[in-house]
Amino acid sequence: MVIDFSAFYELPRLIDRLAAEGESSFAASRGQAVFPPLNIGEDESAVYVRALIPGGDLSALDLTLTDKTLVLRGELPPVRGRYYRQERRTGPFQRVVLLNVPIDRDRVHAAMRDGVLEVVLPKAQQERLRTIHITTR
């Protein structure tokens, strides 16, 4: 008698994926989702960090730049009223962005528009990629 177990080969991976998705959903339902959501990108001249902070007040935000990190701290005030469900987060938050390139601190700037905070971190001149031409002898 031959039993085909090939249908069960993927089962451990599927169980792990289900557990990970359930854990992240459970954390989100307890209000522990990562906030604010970030988009981080770069080109040859700068690193761009965009944070979605709806209802955020500039006076309640603090940006700190160290050699290796950008720290975004702030607080969203609680919204008064009675709710049956409240999915928008309020209260204090903090995000730390690890920077893998040296930043030109004198040219860093941040702007807030329509609830989106954009931080532009220009790369230091000496760290920009350079093409080196190879000559033959």
Query: 31 Cβ partners below 8 Å, 6+ apart?
Result: 89
- Token reading at 27: 């954390």
pTM (two decimals): 0.66
- Work out the burial of residue 109: count CB atoms within 10 Å of its CB; fewer than 13 is exposed, 13-18 middle, 19 or more buried: exposed
Q: What CATH topology corresponds to 34-127?
A: Immunoglobulin-like (2.60.40)
- Token reading at 108: 């860093």
DSSP per-residue string spanning 96-137: EEE--S-B-GGG-EEEEETTEEEEEEEBPGGGS---------
Q: What is the pLDDT along the chain (137 residues), one digit of tens a residue?
A: 566 666 667 777 777 777 777 655 555 555 556 889 999 999 989 999 999 998 888 888 999 999 889 999 999 888 888 888 888 888 899 999 999 899 999 999 999 999 999 999 999 987 556 677 787 77
12: left (phi > 0), else alpha (psi -120 to 50), else beta?
alpha
